[in-house]
Each structure stands twice: as structure tokens, then as C-alpha cells.
Structure 1
Amino acid sequence: MYSQIVMDHFTNPRNAGVLEDADGVGEVGNPVCGDMMTFYIKVRDGRLEDVKFNTFGCVAAIAVSSMVSEMAKGKTLEEAKKITNKAVADALEGLPKNKLHCSNLGAEALKLAIRNYEEKQALGPSSHLQSASSASKPDYCTHCDTEEPVGAAFCMECDNDTGCELIEVK
């Protein structure tokens, strides 16, 4: 059912943990299956110097988090943003069809951590004081990355016949 690489990343996850002084944090969850992923990044000279994750979920969710962290570490922010769900699943030598949503969560959590970092940089040194306005941020579809209104039940843009799962930006 799972490849050797998936099982290796599940039983020996790389980069698991929390960065207390993270430069950016991204959190996603899937209310249907209960998977929750939080990615923490440390940025130096435009590169991801360190990437950690804290994941509550199934075998695939933990393996995906581990693989995404490995794929992102050392990359520039622009390179890391280009890590796709497909690239993650391919690096793991595939995932069962009913677990592909996990690769969406991992790549999305990383992108949200990068976005969080970039927003802090744009706001300046006092950005930690201004982060309480996240309730007005839009949700994003995990399949097509389309911005949707907060609280939307489904994506209005995506033609994916399996439906969309919206994630709340935190």
C-alpha cells in the first residue's frame, strides 16, 4: 500500500519539531480526516536555513511533512514556493489515491509559512503585534489555490470532480 520511502519518512521523520523563534509559521488542517500540519521556517539570506514541522495525522501526513521539509531546506523562498503537491507525491514514490490530499496539506503549510514570513517582513519589526487581524484573511482552495471568502463551504473556481477542501489561513 505505501512505498518504502513513505514508510521510511513515517518511521524516521526528518525535521520534526518546533522552531520557537521561527521567522514564519503556516498551519493547515483537513476537518474531514483530522490531519493537522504546522510548518516552521527560519530564513537567512533569502534561503530556508531550517524547516521543522509538527504534524498530527496518519502515516501519509507524517511522511508528507517529512518529505516537504527535506525538499524545502536550503532552498530559496522562490524555489520553495514552487514545491508542488505532485512533486511531493512523486518524491514519495506515490501515495494511495485516498491519501493524496495529504500532499496538498504539506505543500500548502510550507507556502503559508513563507507567506507569513513575507508578511512580517513587509510590516516591519512590529509585525508580531499586527498579526491578530487574521480573521479577515481569505481561505484558499488546496486544489487550485484560488482565494475564497472566509467561511466558504466549497471553491467556486475549481472544476475538480473530487471537490475542493478549503483551508483557513491562520
Structure 2
Amino acid sequence: MWEYTDKVMDHFLNPRNAGEMENPSAMGEVGSLACGDALRLFLKIDDNGVIQDAKFQTFGCASAIASSSVLTELLKGKTVAEAEKLTNKDIAAHLGGLPKEKMHCSVMGEEALAAALKNWRGEAAPAPAAEGRLVCKCFGVTEETIRRAIRENDLKTVEDITNFTKAGGGCGECAPELEEILADERARMASAAPGGKRMTNIQRVMLVTKVIDEEIRPALKKDGGDIELVDIEGTKVVVSLRGACVGCPSSQLTLKGLVEKRLQEAVDPDIRIEEVRP
């Protein structure tokens, strides 16, 4: 049996804010019943961008229920900007910790929050495999989800990856690929770390181009947009939006929240995006 903290048991046995919300300002849904865990998060956000209420519906274990419950408590009264900074580590910390094998439940809470805030902004919900190539078919986990978990939680083993994402927890066929992704992502993290060996300009150009072509451009094209890489000067990346992205009211959010953030995560934390008009 798992060893749960008193806070986990309290939120499991006495969940806060459980149930459906009428006329929510935003709703985010992650997971699937086929994979064993699912979470639907409802938010009520006022005109000043303050979260007035939060409720959830979940299907899962004690950790999933407790993580969802404490997340709603953490969100109430926060601004959207403050909510965006919440991570799965915050959820686990407010529960006094989770068994390592159950950390994926806190990750599900972070992902549901991100989906709800996208919904509030009017951004299209991602398709089931929109975040990159599917790696773990048993639990529907994509490569980008795995890489993000490695970066954000400093994961060091394939077992860690399974604990945080469930990838590899089924048939195990994807284990060799998880090893490759882990080694590659750890190498990227080392090159970007203070005191680590910095990548050359050529390496940076190649990696920026790869991320834009393989991750960012396909995501934008799903909604009729596109992006062109214009120039790279050190950590300054100059781009031009195309298609439906041109003149879109959310174009600056796209540049900062998607393009710049992803390049900072995958390439160099010092990268800054500049836009030139077509």
C-alpha cells in the first residue's frame, strides 16, 4: 500500500470543490479513461483576470483526487498570471509530498490548468497528439510531454519518467526510446546550465531551426497560421508570423507564450524573440 501524508488522505477523503461548475469561464481536460486517469478542471475568472472559483471532476486514484482538490484550493483568489506559475511541484509540496510512483497525478493537475487557461484565452485545445510524436502507446504519452517532465523536474532515470508521466509503465516496449530521449534532454540541459559548456552559434542555429520546423510550425499550422525564421543573432531570434497569425489579437501571446518559451526550454534560456512584419 502507498504511504500517503495526512494532507493527501484529508484531500482524498474530504475533497474540496469536487463536481461540475455551471457556466464556467474556462475548462481544461486531460487524460483519458482508457489510460486510467482523467481530470476536468473548471474555472470562474472575473473581468480583472482573478480566479473566483475552481472545481474539478476526476477519475483516478487517491493521489489524483488529492492533487485535483488541492489545486482548486491553490487557484482561488489568484490572478491568471499567478496561476500560470503553478507547477506540479507546487501541488505535491502543498500535499506534503506524493509517492514517487504517483507524481504523474500532480503533473496531470498542471496540464489541466494549462489547458483551462488556453481555453479562457480562446486558444484552440490541442489535439490528442498535438504535442509531438507519440512515444508510449499504452498511455498516450508524447515525446514533448516526456521532455518537459525531464526538464521541469530534473529527472535522471527512466523510472523517474514513468513515475512522472506513466510512459513505459505498460508493455515497456518504449523503454529504449525513453533512454535515448533522457540522454538527449540531459545533454541539452547540461549545455544550457550555468558553468556548463555552451553550445556554439552553429549548434544554436541548427537546434532553433529544428524546434521551429518540427514543433512550433506544425502547432501553428493546425489553426491556419505559420512562422518563418528570418535571422538568428546570438540569442536573438527574429521571426515573421504568417497565415492566420498575421494581425491576430493573440499574436504576441503566441510569440511569447509559445515560440519564445519553447525555444528557451529546448535551446537556450537567454533566447529572446523579435518579430518583423511580412
- TM norm structure 1: 0.76
Does the CA-based 8 Å contact 2:33-2:59 persist in structure 1? no
Runs ≥4 residues deviating over 4 A = 30-33, 133-137
Structure 2: distance between partners of 1:83 and 1:31: 25
Matched, 1:89 2:92: yes
Cα shift readout 1:127-164 (whole Å, capped 9, x = no counterpart)? xxxx6x8649823xxxxxxxx25xx2331672554347
- TM norm structure 2: 0.48
**Pair 76,84 (structure 1): closer, same or farther in 2 beyond 3 Å:** same
How far apart are 1:49 and its partner, in Å? 0.8
- Match in the other structure for 1:125: none
- Match in the other structure for 2:19: 17
SS of the residue 2:122 aligns to:
helix
Matched, 1:55 2:47: no
Whichever structure has more helix as a proportion of its residues is 2
Cα RMSD for the two superposed structures? 2.5
Cα shift readout 1:109-137 (whole Å, capped 9, x = no counterpart)? 012111111116xxxxxxxxxx6x86498
Count of aligned pairs: 145
- Match in the other structure for 1:28: 30
SS of the residue 1:2 aligns to:
coil
How far apart are 1:32 and its partner, in Å? 7.6
SS of the residue 2:24 aligns to:
coil
SS of the residue 1:26 aligns to:
strand
Structure 2: distance between partners of 1:31 and 1:103: 17
**Pair 86,32 (structure 1): closer, same or farther in 2 beyond 3 Å:** farther
Q: Residue type of the partner of 1:113? A: A
Matched, 1:117 2:113: no
How far apart are 1:30 and its partner, in Å? 5.7
Structure 2: distance between partners of 1:34 and 1:137: 18
How far apart are 1:20 and its partner, in Å? 2.3
- Match in the other structure for 2:180: none
Cα shift readout 1:90-124 (whole Å, capped 9, x = no counterpart)? 1100100100000000111012111111116xxxx
Matched, 1:105 2:108: yes
- Match in the other structure for 1:138: 130
Equivalent residue for 2:143, pick from 140, 143, 155: 155
Larger radius of gyration: 2
Q: Residue type of the partner of 2:56? A: F
How far apart are 1:33 and its partner, in Å? 5.2
Q: Residue type of the partner of 1:87? A: D
Does the CA-based 8 Å contact 2:5-2:97 persist in structure 1? yes
Equivalent residue for 1:6, pick from 2, 5, 8: 8
Gaps of 5+ in 2: 136-141, 167-278
- Greater RCO (Cα-Cα under 8 Å, separation 6 or more): 1
**Pair 134,87 (structure 1): closer, same or farther in 2 beyond 3 Å:** closer
Structure 2: distance between partners of 1:21 and 1:47: 16
Identical-residue share of aligned pairs (%): 43
SS of the residue 2:104 aligns to:
helix
Structure 2: distance between partners of 1:5 and 1:136: 32
Gaps of 5+ in 1: 121-130, 140-147
How far apart are 1:50 and its partner, in Å? 0.9
**Pair 135,104 (structure 1): closer, same or farther in 2 beyond 3 Å:** closer
